[in-house]
């Protein structure tokens, strides 16, 4: 298990990476000279922000004429930003990609300005609560103060879907507090919050700190609800939260997972996205420093797993040259 000081070191390394992003010299190419990629990540305290920083550093070092810098966001908000053209190369989530492409809630139209680049790891859905609350299942959340994450983020959207399977909604809670991981951990530590649900690859720095401060209990949906969710929604899969990551969960926990992927705008130059994709997979082991469990997921053989949207032509070119077996559903449509 990664200890508290190690997680803090990881965050410090990520910040240092970001500080260094603007101090590099670049060699321009005819089609991409001066291009700056806004890399959408997630809230501070999770894995997305440092992962986006690692990708940005790789781009700055390896892709000539292109600069990249991470910006805060979330799975759903990043999709909206990509489609609107205010982000360029962003972390998103499998179920969110499928819903955006198909125009399903929380999206009100088909998002077609987005293309896939590559999969990274599997995000794991789980709910934290302090042992003293007595909460051990979703039904126990009634009348409690709950945070499903930030409004519009994928964790919040997925929490709503799970609650729906239980015949529940936010109206069943005493209070709904829409905050990020770090704020949620602090509120729970100070006893201003009873439960926090999120979707991420553990350990989360905010909740490792909480776990060392007070006894924590971690749970998920029932097996029956998990089965129904996977059948109903594209981009979801069954996965286990490994035991022992947190003191509050010594044994593995069956739960819901969804791929964490990088997507991009369809109108970005093919040579740029080819270069970014190639650079990442030639340096992918750098991402393992963000989270020790990434080494089990972020590997070239998993690059296309769980993608729900057709590939960008630049990414497709890389996989074709590398000899990948590309599914028909991921073939470029432009």
Q: Which of 212, 238, 258 is the last residue of a domain?
A: 258
Q: What is the mean pLDDT of residues 218-241?
A: 92
Question: Does the model's pTM come out above 0.85?
Answer: no
Residues 321 and 242 in one domain: no
C-alpha–C-alpha distance, residues 117 and 274, integer Å: 9
Residues 294 and 248 in one domain: no
Residues 172 and 286 in one domain: no
Residues 141 and 209 in one domain: yes
User: Which domain does 254 fall in, by range?
Assistant: 124-258
Residues 136 and 241 in one domain: yes
Residues 196 and 267 in one domain: no
Q: How many domains does the chain have?
A: 2
- The CA R_g of the chain, rounded to the nearest whole Å, is 19
Beta-ladder partners of 197: 127
Under 8 Å CB-to-CB from 13, ≥6 apart: which residues?
50, 289
Q: Which of 258, 275, 293 is the last residue of a domain?
A: 258
Q: Give Cα 313 to chain centroid, integer Å.
A: 23
Mind listing the pLDDT tens digit for each residue in 98-150?
999 999 888 999 999 999 999 999 989 999 999 999 999 999 999 999 999 98
Return the closest-CA partner of residue 87 out of 73, 101, 104, 107: 73
Residues 14 and 112 in one domain: yes
Residues 326 and 177 in one domain: no
Q: Which of 258, 279, 307 is the last residue of a domain?
A: 258
Mind listing the pLDDT tens digit for each residue in 158-178?
999 999 999 999 999 999 999
The upper half-sphere exposure of residue 116, i.e. CA atoms within 13 Å in the direction of its Cβ, equals 32
Q: Which residue has the tokens 């899969």?
A: 237
Residues 186 and 134 in one domain: yes
C-alpha–C-alpha distance, residues 298 and 305, integer Å: 11
Distances (CA, A) of 14 to 25, 50, 185: 20, 5, 20
E strand or H helix that includes residue 101: helix 94-102
Residue 5 has pLDDT above 60, yes or no: no
Please answer whether residues 298 and 121 qualify as being in contact, where contact means their C-beta atoms are separated by less than 8 angstroms. Answer: yes
Residue 184 has pLDDT above 60, yes or no: yes
Residues 240 and 302 in one domain: no
Mind listing the pLDDT tens digit for each residue in 15-70?
444 444 433 333 333 345 579 999 999 877 778 999 999 999 999 999 999 999 99
Residues 23 and 103 in one domain: yes
Beta-ladder partners of 238: 256
Residue 152: pLDDT band by 50, 70, 90 thresholds?
A: confident
CATH no. for residue 114?
A: 3.40.190.10
Return the closest-CA partner of residue 60 out of 52, 68, 70, 51: 68
Please answer whether residues 259 and 93 qualify as being in contact, where contact means their C-beta atoms are separated by less than 8 angstroms. Answer: yes
Q: Which residue has the tokens 């198909």?
A: 102
Residues 166 and 68 in one domain: no
Query: Which of the two residues, 213 and 265, has the higher pLDDT score?
Result: 265
C-alpha–C-alpha distance, residues 116 and 163, integer Å: 29
């Amino acid at each position: 298990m990664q200890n508290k000081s190690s997680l803090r070191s990881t965050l410090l390394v990520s910040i240092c990476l970001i500080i260094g992003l603007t101090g590099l010299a670049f060699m321009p190419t005819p089609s991409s000279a001066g291009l700056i990629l806004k890399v959408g990540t997630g809230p501070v305290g999770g894995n997305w922000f440092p992962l986006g920083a690692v990708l940005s550093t790789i781009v700055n070092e390896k892709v000539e004429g292109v600069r990249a810098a991470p910006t805060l966001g979330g799975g759903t908000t990043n999709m909206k930003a990509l489609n609107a053209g205010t982000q360029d190369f962003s972390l998103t989530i499998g179920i969110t990609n499928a819903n955006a492409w198909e125009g399903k809630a929380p999206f009100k139209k088909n998002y077609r300005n987005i293309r896939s680049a590559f999969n990274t790891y599997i995000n794991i859905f789980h709910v934290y609560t302090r042992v003293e609350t007595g909460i051990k299942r979703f039904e126990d959340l009634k009348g409690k103060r709950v945070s499903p994450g930030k409004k519009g983020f994928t964790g919040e959207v997925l929490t709503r879907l799970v609650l729906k399977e239980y015949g529940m909604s936010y109206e069943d809670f005493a209070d709904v507090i829409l905050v990020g991981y770090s704020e949620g951990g602090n509120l729970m530590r100070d006893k201003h919050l009873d439960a926090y649900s999120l979707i991420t690859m553990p350990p989360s720095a905010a909740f490792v700190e909480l776990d060392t401060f007070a006894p924590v209990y971690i749970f998920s949906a029932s097996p029956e609800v998990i089965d129904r969710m996977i059948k109903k929604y594209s981009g979801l899969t069954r996965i286990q939260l490994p035991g022992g990551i947190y003191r509050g969960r010594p044994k593995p926990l069956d739960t819901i997972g969804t791929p964490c992927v990088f997507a991009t705008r369809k109108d970005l130059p093919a040579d740029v996205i080819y270069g970014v994709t190639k650079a990442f997979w030639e340096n992918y082991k750098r991402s393992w420093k963000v989270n020790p469990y990434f080494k089990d997921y972020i590997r070239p053989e998993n690059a296309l797993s769980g993608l729900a949207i057709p590939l960008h032509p630049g990414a497709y070119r890389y996989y074709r040259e590398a000899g990948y077996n590309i599914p028909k559903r991921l073939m470029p449509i432009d």
